[in-house]
Amino acid sequence: MTDHPKPPRPQRPARPRKTPPHLPPKIPDDRSPILLVTVCTQNRRPLLARPEVHDLLRTVWRQADAWRVGRYVVMPDHIHLFCAPSAFAGAPVARWVQFWKSQATSQWPHPELLPIWQKSFWDTQLRHAESYAAKWAYVRLNPVRAGLCDATEQWPFQGEFSVLPWHD
């Protein structure tokens, strides 16, 4: 009787991740990391692109000072923002996002529309200055691609809250 090796076990295809892992950002040299964060409304409902919501978000970002918000675009059903910790190796980004989402919810001008947010969010750490510029150009074009305006300058729900300098 000869020993036959067992055939390799078929590997199951990887299941798509339902929520992102939110890994701690890698601290490059002696500078703060910059992250691109995307937060969506529950069921992608178009609740956000309104003057009173834009004002509310700016208020809660000011209160949620563990991280600084840089450039941002508020779309009807999601927000893209660049952020960096206020202190070197500050609070986890997940805790910060949870805080400002809860603050926005508690002050929401339209309580009949609650709940507002998806439970999680997406984040990616920027690696170099070109990535920052390219991602901002892409994010800033979202309202144009969605047919909400003809030029990026026309979209009223965007801005730069704090300057997040990039140092290569």
More reliable by pLDDT, 18 or 106: 106
Class of the CATH domain delimited by 35-152: alpha beta
Report whether pLDDT(1) > 90. no
Give the strand pairing for 35-40 and 78-85: antiparallel
Encode the chain in three state secondary structure: CCCCCCCCCCCCCCCCCCCCCCCCCCCCCCCCCCEEEEEEEHHHCCCCCCHHHHHHHHHHHHHCCCEEEEEEEECCCEEEEEEEECCCCCCCHHHHHHHHHHHHHHCCCCHHHCCCECCCCEEEECCCHHHHHHHHHHHHCHHHHCCCCCCHHHCCCEEECCCCCCCC
Give the start-to-end residue ranges of the domains of the chain: 35-152
State the pLDDT confidence band at 128, using cuts at 50, 70 and 90.
confident
> CA nearest 97: which of 163, 22, 150, 32?
22
Q: Which pLDDT value is given to residue 67?
A: 95
Phi first, then psi, for residue 167 (nearest 5°) are -125, 105
Mean pLDDT of the chain: 86
Which pLDDT does position 118 carry in this prediction? 96
- The pTM for the full model equals 0.81
pLDDT at 88 over 70: no
CA distance 100 to 79: 13
With bands split at pLDDT 50, 70 and 90, how would you rate the model's confidence at 62? very high
Q: Higher confidence at residue 12 or residue 129?
A: 129
pLDDT at 5 exceeding the cut of 70: no
